Structure 1
């Protein structure tokens, strides 16, 4: 953790008075940019899946816990909460909690969750705007009750208030120096890693799939919204849990080529099975007349309401924006690699046409 001189002086002033009760070594070592003599953690088992709950700006604040010259590092988001769990050699599991509900106020503490009743040795400090308070209340420094409530001070509307929290250390028969530090901007590990590093959550890229509804309909679909509902409730959508499903259809308010969000348009497009590729990406669907698709959407002949030109834009034939059984509607053929989106038009009163649906 890289601290400037003023920040280091602040931490030294605020933490030098902390004394661990019941046999722990008094005082806290502070590790700054000169801590290159420390070794990377070997005994601890890190569980990186617990390192971040929240999102964005995960590098703005950093927390570090050091024990026996081994430590882990975690980056903390500006808002939200972080829970870090790790297991020491003796088998006890510890959890580090940091609450950063507002960027200028946070509490920090540790507790054991190993289920053993020990004498608790507490060290917990509240920071406001990076300035630590020196101690916890006298009646909160020791306890014989495992996971007993302890106290942290926080600044609320200019008034310092004590609040009970569950924050304690418990070491069975150990006398170790333990420090909790939180301040500054994490610019890199103080010693050679690897260290778990929190990042903003990223939604995994899904594949993109196109399927044909098993049900058939007249041109009165209840509008585009009704077509979307029909896709979402179709039997073929049953195995697509977690996907967003919409109809590939055009009307005066939307073009079919704009149904898929831009973030997914570079992904390959597959059949319902998720393995048979139809096109290398979304754009490749919309020049199929000149460059046929890799595979047809289905191997079975059918007619599909689309209201769409080969370019992906709306045609004049949309059954009154899919609200009427009069007039004509443009249709495509899922068994074709060229005229999949537009082959001809049919009477809107026909009830034998299906829908194209996209899942992403």
Structure 2
């Protein structure tokens, strides 16, 4: 924004008073500019909005300079002050960087009776507390009616492992059935060699919706549950196969 404003002032300054000979040779341009100014800034000032208001302000201030009897050097000095004034009125916005969300696979394992989705989230949070990671976390897990994609925050920034390795550029990238790196690092920043992970979730975050795929909404050890494979980076990272719910497997945990 500042660069655009400075360019605007320089161009207008040249045509208004710094180079009269150029102005004389460009009467058509100046006439059109003057007509625009009269129509938008003088006759109907209430119409000036946004960048149009900036243009009107620029014309006004440069016209004030043009009417003075100052030397060219004095006008340039005053022009620089006008630029500073305009930058105060229309400052360049400060963009807040989007922080990455952290992801890990639990170093601990659990059977299919997780206490429902809420119980799985508690287990993730317990591992976060034990590792001193901080923040709010949820399990990448779906039951028969609620998907992981509808439960978790959709970050527009990246997703990273605890060791800093990026697995995806954004939620959209995370859920396109392809990761940049496998989710095989625990909350303790150690490699987990127990690849099958409770998920009941396709790689796009939706429910797998196959019979006996959620250990009866993650409340039983007597049924079957769907898993992902933490050694994979294709869609199999979240949807790889099904095993009995009496088995003990880790969870994927995502920072919210």
> What's the TM-score bracket when you normalise by the shorter of the two chains?
0.5 to 0.7
Shift of 1:222: 0.5
After superposition, give the CA deviation of every residue in 1:163-205 in whole Å (9 maximum; x if it has no partner): xxxxxxxxxxxxxxxxxxxxxxxxxxx94564898x9x99863
Match of residue 162 from structure 2: 272
TM-score (norm: length of structure 2) = 0.56
**Residues 99 and 158 of structure 2 are in contact (CA less than 8 Å); yes or no, is this contact kept in structure 1?**
no
After superposition, give the CA deviation of every residue in 1:278-328 in whole Å (9 maximum; x if it has no partner): 12222223332xxx3211111543221001123322123000110111110
Match of residue 231 from structure 1: 124
Tell me if 1:321 matches 2:217: yes
**Residues 111 and 246 of structure 2 are in contact (CA less than 8 Å); yes or no, is this contact kept in structure 1?**
yes
Give the number of aligned pairs. Answer: 166
* Structure 1 CA distance for aligned equivalents of residues 204 and 152 of structure 2: 15
Q: Which residue of 223, 242, 251 corresponds with 1:345?
A: 242
TM-score (norm: length of structure 1) = 0.41
Q: Which has the higher contact order (CA 8 A, sep 6+)?
A: 2
**Residues 107 and 192 of structure 2 are in contact (CA less than 8 Å); yes or no, is this contact kept in structure 1?**
no
* Structure 2 CA distance for aligned equivalents of residues 205 and 259 of structure 1: 20
User: RMSD across aligned C-alpha pairs, in angstroms?
Assistant: 3.1
Match of residue 245 from structure 1: 137
Match of residue 150 from structure 2: 258
Q: Secondary structure at the match of 2:251?
A: strand
Alignment of structure 1 residues 159-178 onto 2, 5 Å: none
Shift of 1:237: 6.4
* Structure 2 CA distance for aligned equivalents of residues 349 and 239 of structure 1: 30
Shift of 1:239: 3.7
- Structure 1 portions without partners, runs of 5+: 1-33, 37-189
More strand by share: 1
Q: Which residue of 183, 198, 208 corresponds with 2:101?
A: 208
After superposition, give the CA deviation of every residue in 1:236-271 in whole Å (9 maximum; x if it has no partner): 763432x22111100123211233334x2x221111
Measured at CA, do residues 258 and 203 of structure 1 come closer, stay the same or move farther in structure 2, by a change above 3 Å? farther
After superposition, give the CA deviation of every residue in 1:50-101 in whole Å (9 maximum; x if it has no partner): xxxxxxxxxxxxxxxxxxxxxxxxxxxxxxxxxxxxxxxxxxxxxxxxxxxx
Tell me if 1:307 matches 2:204: no
**Residues 198 and 228 of structure 2 are in contact (CA less than 8 Å); yes or no, is this contact kept in structure 1?**
yes
More helix by share: 2
